[in-house]
Structures are given as structure tokens and as C-alpha cells.
Amino acid sequence: MRANSRTRAGQYVALLAYLVFLAFPFLWLLSTAFKSPRELGSPHPTWIPRHPTLDNFRQAFDEQPLLHAALNSLLAAAGAAVVAVLIATPLAYVVARRRTALTRAATGWVVVSQAFPLVLVIIPLFLVLKNLRLIDSLAGLTLVYVVWALPFALWMLAGYVRAVPTEVEEAAAVDGAGRVRTLVLVVAPLLAPGITATALFAFVTAWNEFFFALVLLKTPERQTLPVVLTHFIGAEGVADLGPLAAAAFLATVPSLVVFALIQRRITGGMLTGAVKN
């Protein structure tokens, strides 16, 4: 009993240390956002601002179009999440139910493709978007996000489809339902937790993405929030820490709120898909 108690206590301590490690950047960012320029320049930094101020937030909104950039990020991320899930769901159904050499090879390629660096694919993507006349457009950026999110979405949803008993589909077939009708009316509702988890992962990934947005978007009115945040850094690499921290904090809040609202469904969907894969 004592050994089990010690093991459990050690696990709690390790979990607490891990949570502190994860929370430290966010808490420091929050503290910096409310500090005055005098406190930010102090050689003795403190966790809690001595004289909290909202001036950094006012300056951030005055200097950069944060709301417009946030809207651009929202449109691109939401569009990418919806389209990726709509494409990946039927593909995942085929991959999960037709266990052939081709589908196994496709699944392996999907996993391997996640190891490709962004620099490796940016030139082909740029040329394709240029031929489609989608350079410097949110539609083109959304298309890139869809392509980038599809491998993960396909892999995750395929594992979740395998968790659905085949007897359910057989019963639908006895009632006269075809493959498409079975997928839409029978399987898809059972995939709701996995679809939610996959869509949210695709949304947050696109919301935080920087490299593609930096390369593909040149017009200031079309730039996304991560790109606009770099405007708080001067040409010589000197950052205006107060407004930058305030803007970064505002950019972080939406994804945290979304995860907090549906964390149980995300955890369940990701764990089920991962186990079945």
C-alpha cells in the first residue's frame, strides 16, 4: 500500500510539474501584457505587475489592425477545418473499411508526409496557387491549410471509423441503405466526437500557422494575425514588448477558450482514433 501511495504521489508531483511547465509561458505573457514600460525595463522582473495598466492593449490596437487580422485568421482557419473534415470523412471510411495493399500504402504515405518540412512544399504550392491565380488571397491560403490538414484528418478519422462496429452498417444494408446513405445517416453521427476533435485540431493549427501566411499573403489587409504580430518587431529586431505581449495574449485566448469548452470531446476523439490506429 505504501509503495502504491508513493507511486501515486510521484505521479501527481510529475503531473503538477508538467502543468507548471506548460503554463509558465502563458502566465509570463499575461504578466508582461499588463506591465508598464518602466517595469518592462526593470533589471529585476516580477511575476505580478506592481502597477497594472491597459495601455499596452490600447497601443496594440492603435498600431496594428488586430481585429481585421483576427477575422482573416478566423475565415481561413474555419474554412480549412470544415473543408478538411468534409473531404477526410468519406476517404477515412474507405481506408478503414477496405483493407487492401493500396489503402495500407496510402495510410503509410499519410504518416510519412507529416515529417516533410514546410520549406520542402512551399515552392510547389506557390507555383500551383500562382497558376490558379490564388496568390495573396485568403482562398489560396485556406486551400493550403486544407492540404496541410488532410493527412492528419484522414489518419485520425480512419482510426475512429474502425471503432464503429460493422454490425451497424450491416443492419443498415439489410434495411436497403447504400454505402453513401450508410455513411451519412449511420456512421457520421457516431463519428461526431472524432470529427469534432479533428476539426478543432485543424482549426487551431491553421489559426496559429505563420510560415505559409507570411509567404503567400503580401497585401496588409489580407494578412493573418500571426503575421501581423511580427509588425511589433522593428527592423533591427527590437520588439515593443508591452504591445506585443498584449497582442499575443489576445491571439492566444480564442484557441484556449475553444479547447476549454470542448476538451472532453477532443480528448475522447483523439484517444479513440489513436488507439484504433
Residue 246 lies in a domain: yes
Which of 117, 76, 91 has its CA nearest to residue 208?
76
State the chain's mean pLDDT as an integer.
81
In a domain, 2, yes or no: yes
Question: Among candidates 25, 34, 142, 157, which has minimal Cα distance to 96?
Answer: 157
Q: What is the pLDDT of residue 114?
A: 67
47 shares its domain with 72:
no
CATH of the domain at 144: 1.10.3720.10
Measured CA to CA, the distance from residue 162 to residue 97 in angstroms comes to 8
Query: CA of 124: how far to CAs of 130, 131, 136, 258, in Å?
Result: 10, 11, 16, 33
What share of residues in the chain are helix, strand, coil (percent, to 5)? Answer: 80, 0, 20
The verdict on 80 and 195 lying in the same domain is yes
pLDDT reading at 41 higher than 90: no
Do 220 and 103 sit in the same domain of this protein?
A: yes
Question: Would you say residue 238 lies in a domain?
Answer: yes
pLDDT at 273: 43
Residue 190: CB atoms within 10 Å? 15
Per-residue cell: 51: 502597477
Listing DSSP states for 133-194 in one string gives T-TTSHHHHHHHHHHHHHHHHHHHHHHHHHTS-HHHHHHHHHTT--HHHHIIIIIHHHTHHH
**Residue 142 domain-assigned (yes or no):** yes
Look at residue 58 and tell me if it is in a domain.
no
Domain that holds residue 248: 64-276
Question: For 67-71, 174-178, 235-239, 254-258, which range has the lowest pLDDT when averaged over its residues?
Answer: 235-239
Structural element, H or E, at residue 201: helix 192-208
pLDDT the model gives residue 262: 65
CB under 8 Å to 122, separation ≥6 — which residues?
211, 212, 215
Instruction: Identify whether residues 17 and 83 lie together within a single domain.
Output: no
Domain assignment present for 165: yes
pLDDT at 213: 93
Domain shared by 146 and 208, yes or no: yes
Confidence at 57, pLDDT banded by 50, 70, 90: very high
Cα 57–61–67 angle (5° rounding)? Answer: 115
Predicted pLDDT of residue 263: 63
Burial (CB count <10 Å: 0-12, 13-18, 19+), residue 219: exposed
Q: Is 201 within a domain?
A: yes
How do residues 76-121 score in pLDDT, each as one tens digit?
999 999 999 999 999 888 888 777 777 677 667 766 766 777 777 8
Tell whether 49 and 69 lie within a shared domain.
Answer: no
Mean pLDDT: which of 97-101, 185-189, 262-266, 268-272 is highest? 185-189
* pLDDT value of position 168: 78
Question: Could you tell me if residue 59 is inside a domain?
Answer: no
Give the span between the Cα atoms of 78 and 35, in whole angstroms.
33
Which tens digits make up the pLDDT trace of 121-163?
888 888 889 898 999 999 999 999 998 888 888 888 888 888 8
Domain count, the chain: 2
Query: Is there a single domain that holds both residue 82 and residue 206?
Result: yes
For residues 73 and 3, membership in a common domain is answered with no
Same-domain status, 99 and 191: yes
* pTM across the whole model: 0.81
36, 170: one domain: no
The stretch 210-224 carries a mean pLDDT of: 91
My answer on whether 203 and 82 are in the same domain is yes
Say what the pLDDT of residue 2 is.
55
Residues 144 and 125: beta-carbon distance below 8 Å: yes
Identify whether residues 178 and 217 lie together within a single domain: yes
DSSP state of 36: -
pLDDT at 32 over 80: yes
Percentage above 90 pLDDT, the chain: 23
Q: Mean pLDDT across the stretch 255-271?
A: 62
Q: Please provide the size of the chain in residues.
A: 277
